[in-house]
Amino acid sequence: MVTAAPTSHLHPQHKPLPTEYQTTDKGRAAAEAYYSKEPSTDDTMPSSSKLTLSSTIPILNSPFTMPRLGFGIYQSPRDVCVNSCLTALRAGYRHIDSAQFYRNEAEMGEAVRQAGIPRSEVFLTTKILSAGGSVEKSYQKCADSVKSIDPSENGYVDLFLIHSPNSGSKNRKEMWQALERLVDEKKARSIGVSNFGIGHIEEMKSYAKIWPPQVNQIELHPWCQQREIVDYCNQNKIIIEAYCPLVRNMKAHDETLVSISEKRSKTTGQTLIRYCLQKGWVPLPKSDTPSRIKANADVFGFELDDDDMKRLDGLDQGERGAIVQVVTNS
């Protein structure tokens, strides 16, 4: 269930590695301190070793929380998407990630209605890629997305993101102000960005009423760890969502990954998702294959040890490791 966060805002998910393994993750200590200000016995806020499919993470400056595991639907065709989302929901996922660019927002919403799960128990995300030409026009594009996803009288999305910073400063400002209006009108509970670097987020201070953005969704996996923006987001308590956590299966035969997976008797996909969870990221694995959708949710009965994490951390290739894009931090 997507519930209101406890007032303590305890950090629910990250078990930090020993310092010598994480010397570049400078923001992690700050984030850990923030989320650990008060002790708690709330079972919904576990450490990484106690994560479950129902675990959530608190959203900054919000009474709401986000499920720790999401389901991505990029390139999920309309005639397939509803069934894939239904499979995910029946497997226990409660977090689905779409976008205007994906052209399957309505199918995501339809799946929730067909599943018979109360809207309040599912976390739905979409994104705006291109500005409309004015704040009003961008707002209307976003409002139309909300209506297609949740056509009820008081329909809303849980998270609305700017999909990319690539359209320029003027358009980024226009889209952000449109998202802020969505929040004001209760059509979006939280707002954030995707593929934004440090400079893009810092620039927002000059015009944003809501700052920092509550989420930054970026490409993350062992071969593309983007440590500078990860540190920055940790320092500013911005939730980090990881898209392409499975690297589109392009690394399924990597020797290190296979070795760790075989040791744990897990698939390479399960190992990569578990890696993201233990890094403190919110992974968004995508598949239209029912067996893989289910397997990708079965990542809470094991834990990678420090040596596993160190070996996976050692695979980082920086910009070369990206299969979509790395952020620009200038």
Alpha helix locations (H) across 61-220? 78-91, 105-115, 135-149, 169-184, 198-203
Q: Where are the beta strands (DSSP E) in the chain?
A: 56-58, 65-67, 71-72, 95-97, 123-128, 157-162, 188-194, 215-219, 239-243, 282-283
Give the tokens for residue 50.
Answer: 């106690």
DSSP 326: P
Per the annotation, the verdict on 35 as an active-site residue is no
Annotated catalytic residue within 95, 163, 200, 221: 163
Annotated catalytic residue within 35, 93, 102, 156: 102
- d(CA 150, CA 187) in angstroms, rounded, equals 10
Per the annotation, the verdict on 102 as an active-site residue is yes
Q: What is the 3-state secondary structure (H, E, C) of 49-66?
A: HHCCCCCEEECCCCCEEE
CA distance readout (Å), 15 to 50, 112, 285, 287, 311: 10, 32, 21, 27, 16
Amino acid at 104: N
**Active site amino acids:** 102, 163
